[in-house]
């Protein structure tokens, strides 16, 4: 026990010594090699930002495009008409795309885009062009579709085999606008709109739903969640609202965005599209204080379509009529620790840069640990436990 206490104290010191600052300035963006003549739509990223999927919505080049190098290069993967909503697992091996070709369908891959297959049909036989949203758990064990056609078929459908078959989870005839789920897929939330806006929440994998506390506003909104569900964020033209109890109550930042928003795994970084009501264009902006203030990035106003980011928020992506743009910031993950069975439990958000855990007895000589961390798909963290027999006193993460 004394050995563990000694390590804990040393790690506390090392943690402050090697803590890296967060992103507090506007990002620098680079245009990728993606064809600027295409109308780019949805984009999603693996947790580490390496595997990306983007869709060309219409015109020449319609279909799915993939990148395996954080957007530096893109390769055509599959022809698809009017690709819309898309999702990816944390490792990027499983992806799903909603498409329309006279009738709505979902196409999936389980091998990083090597092959694509049309997903199985829902219980009513066809999606009938009425898919409103699609979300998935980080490990791919749960895929959800929110469907509304004004009949008793409206509701939430789920698949536990990545779209091969579907079952009815809940029957809800609601006009879904935006939905979100935690990384483990146990908590879901959705915004519905009608005469007023309403957030609905579920804490049992979508089986039952309850109204969240009301928030003002009637514009088309956006909702998102941290990986662990500790924060639920709703945004519309009235402002941005944050709940730390899954919708029971909200705090308001009073900062309106009016476009798509995504966040890092812990919401330490928000990436948004801010609407210019005068011309209908957006500018790309970021926030590092949960939306209290936003910094405009080095991109011009444009008809931006979609945004995405890596789990640590250090790789950002945006699509539009002018191609695909990427921002990369050197990763600086926070190294967290806790006692664990007479040892130490380390964790850090899946980084966009390869990181290694090092130890030192004196802050002078460092040795890289060969223990491989494991991915916790419920929190999007890399985790590693060291036994108490390890008597080194200082630890740090370093890029490889």
CA gap 185, 188 in Å, rounded = 7
CATH 2.60.40 fits 2-20+332-399, yes or no: yes
Tokens of 387: 């036994």
Domain definitions of the chain by residue range: 2-20+332-399, 29-328
Across 10-14, 113-117, 237-241, which has the greatest mean pLDDT?
Answer: 113-117
Helix, strand, coil distribution of the chain in percent, nearest 5: 5, 40, 55
Q: Is the pTM of this model over 0.85?
A: yes
Query: Are 257 and 306 in contact, with CB atoms under 8 Å apart?
Result: no
The pLDDT of residue 219 is 64
Tokens of 335: 């190294």
CA gap 99, 94 in Å, rounded = 17
Nearest Cα residue to 132 out of 182, 173, 95, 94: 173
Whose tokens are 């390590």? That residue is 7
CATH of 29-328, one of 2.130.10.10, 3.40.50.720, 3.30.1050.10, 3.30.450.20: 2.130.10.10
CA gap 27, 284 in Å, rounded = 10
Q: Would you list the DSSP string of 348-367?
A: EEPPSS-EEEEEESSSSS-E
Maximum C-alpha span of the chain: 69
CA gap 59, 229 in Å, rounded = 39
- For the segment 302-353, what is each residue's pLDDT rounded down to a tens digit? 889 999 999 999 999 999 888 999 999 988 888 998 888 878 899 999 999 9
């Amino acid at each position: 026990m004394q050995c563990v206490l000694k390590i804990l104290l040393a790690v506390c010191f090392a943690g402050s010594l090697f803590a890296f600052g967060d992103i507090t300035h506007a990002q620098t963006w680079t245009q990728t090699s993606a064809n600027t003549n295409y109308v780019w739509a949805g984009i999603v990223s693996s947790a580490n930002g390496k595997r990306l999927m983007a869709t060309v919505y219409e015109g020449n080049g319609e279909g799915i495009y993939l990148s395996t190098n954080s957007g530096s290069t893109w390769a055509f993967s599959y022809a698809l008409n009017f690709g819309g909503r898309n999702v990816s697992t944390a490792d990027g091996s499983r992806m799903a795309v909603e498409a329309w070709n006279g009738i709505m369908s979902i196409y999936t891959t389980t091998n990083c885009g090597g092959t694509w297959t049309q997903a199985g049909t829902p219980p009513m036989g066809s999606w009938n062009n009425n898919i409103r949203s699609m979300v998935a758990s980080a490990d791919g064990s749960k895929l959800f579709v929110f469907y509304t056609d004004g009949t008793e078929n409206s509701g939430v459908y789920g698949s536990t085999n990545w779209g091969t078959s579907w079952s009815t989870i809940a029957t809800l005839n609601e006009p879904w606008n935006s939905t979100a789920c935690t990384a483990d897929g146990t908590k879901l939330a959705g915004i519905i709109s009608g005469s007023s806006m309403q957030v609905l929440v579920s804490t049992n994998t979508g089986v039952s739903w309850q109204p969240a506390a009301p928030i003002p506003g009637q514009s088309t909104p956006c909702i998102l969640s941290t990986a662990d569900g500790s924060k639920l964020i709703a945004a519309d033209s009235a402002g941005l609202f944050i709940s730390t109890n899954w919708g029971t109550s909200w705090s308001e930042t009073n900062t309106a965005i009016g476009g798509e928003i995504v966040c890092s795994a812990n919401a330490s970084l928000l990436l948004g599209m801010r609407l210019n009501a005068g011309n209908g264009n957006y500018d790309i902006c970021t926030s590092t204080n949960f939306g209290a203030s936003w910094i405009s990035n080095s991109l011009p106003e444009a008809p931006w379509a979609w945004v995405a980011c890596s789990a640590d928020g250090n790789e950002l992506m945006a699509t539009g009529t002018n191609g695909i743009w990427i921002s990369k910031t050197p990763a600086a993950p926070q190294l967290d620790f806790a006692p664990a069975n007479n040892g130490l439990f380390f964790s850090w958000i899946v980084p966009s840069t390869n990181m290694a855990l090092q130890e030192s007895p004196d802050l002078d000589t460092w040795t890289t640990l060969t223990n491989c961390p494991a991915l916790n798909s419920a929190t999007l963290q890399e985790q590693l436990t060291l036994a108490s027999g390890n008597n080194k006193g200082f630890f740090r993460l370093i890029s490889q």
